[in-house]
Structure 1
Amino acid sequence: MKTKLITRKGYQQLQSELDHLWRTERPEVTKKVAWAASLGDRSENADYQYNKKRLREIDRRVRYLQKRLDELRIVDYSPEQEGKVFFGAFVEVEDENGETLNFQIVGPDEIYDNKGVVSIDAPMARALLKKEVDDEAWVSTPSGRKVWYINRISYNVGE
């Protein structure tokens, strides 16, 4: 089950996607379906079949987004979070080989097409929660448990 937390930025992105699908893309595809249907025999009309399929995909995504946006809870930064890893934190971690990773901990709805983010549901994020700089976190991976050291925690991209 996916966590129902999201950053304000992530919520706005999902809302923008919903608006675009509903106000722009769906009306365009609906016009194409109507035009293709007016040509007659729909069984051999590739435009009709493709656009009808696309319309179903759009409708499915719109229904999902409407439902999901109602369920989500926006989590904004709070000063009490400072110094520890919580939802929305930008974290730099390092393993014993000196390999570093930089990412933000976000909701599961925000990870697609985003580089530099980790879902709050991921083992890495779970292991880091409530930890401070210089703490170590043990993360279970397919190849076994691995230790990561926290180098930096911030709640602003620029820091």
Structure 2
Amino acid sequence: MSAHPNYISPEGFARLRAEYDHLLGIERPRIVEVVSWAAGNGDRSENGDYLYGRKRMREIDGQLRRLSKKMKDAKVIDPRAQPDKSRVYFGATVTIADEDDHRRTVTIVGNDEADAGTGRIGWGSPIARALRGAAVGDLRRVVLPAGEKDYEVMAILYPA
């Protein structure tokens, strides 16, 4: 197990599981069938279907190992079950404002679920680390690649 817990929401874990099941139950058997068919066609050294199939099978096997490790190391946390909803913890949707009153809303999710374009930031990101444990009205300094920036916590919401 890694030094830091791999927190993930139930929905995020379900997505990992669905991807694993799809690769193992659909993609891999289809590639095995292609490789078996191509191997029966004779010379394997110049057989594109065989060579591509073997390469694709190695990629799928690698992805299955990565997904398996992520699921094994995952600690599923349901944000709806957070005992203290007045502070920022895993699963919180937080509205923050910078010094110029530019507001931004982010949801703190597992690192495997992060998608900055939709406002879902990973638990281990600089902003999430700075916001952990904050309450409405708290001022937090975030160290970003462009420099330090102060944010005030304006609102905290958890899923119902």
| TM-score, length of structure 1 as denominator length | 0.89
In 1, Cα distance between equivalents of 2:50 and 2:105: 46
Aligned residue number for residue 152 of structure 1: 155
Q: How does 1:59-74 map to 2 (within 5 A)?
A: 59-74=61-76
What is the Cα-based RMSD across aligned positions, in Å?
Answer: 1.9
Aligned residue number for residue 39 of structure 2: 37
Shift in CA distance, 53/120, structure 1 to aligned 2, threshold 3 Å: same
In 1, Cα distance between equivalents of 2:137 and 2:131: 11
- Note if contact 2:93-2:106 (Cα within 8 Å) is conserved in structure 1: yes
For the pair 1:92 / 2:95, whether they are aligned, the reply is yes
In 2, Cα distance between equivalents of 1:109 and 1:147: 26
- Note if contact 1:92-1:152 (Cα within 8 Å) is conserved in structure 2: yes
- Note if contact 1:2-1:121 (Cα within 8 Å) is conserved in structure 2: no
Q: How does 1:5-16 map to 2 (within 5 A)?
A: 5-16=7-18
In 1, Cα distance between equivalents of 2:116 and 2:20: 16
87, 103, 106: which one aligns with 2:106: 103
Structure 1, gaps ≥5 residues long:
none
**How many aligned residue pairs are there?**
157
SS in 1 for 2:83: helix
17, 20, 28: which one aligns with 1:18: 20
| TM-score, length of structure 2 as denominator length | 0.89
Shift in CA distance, 69/79, structure 1 to aligned 2, threshold 3 Å: closer
Give the Å deviation of 1:79. 4.6
SS in 2 for 1:81: coil
Kindly provide the CA deviation profile for residues 65-121 of structure 1, in whole angstroms up to 9, marking residues without a partner as x: 222212211111325221110011111212122332222111112126973211111
The 4+ residue runs of structure 1 with deviation greater than 4 A are none
One-letter code of the match for 2:52?
Y
In 1, Cα distance between equivalents of 2:136 and 2:157: 10
- Note if contact 2:115-2:121 (Cα within 8 Å) is conserved in structure 1: no
For the pair 1:138 / 2:129, whether they are aligned, the reply is no
- Note if contact 2:5-2:73 (Cα within 8 Å) is conserved in structure 1: no
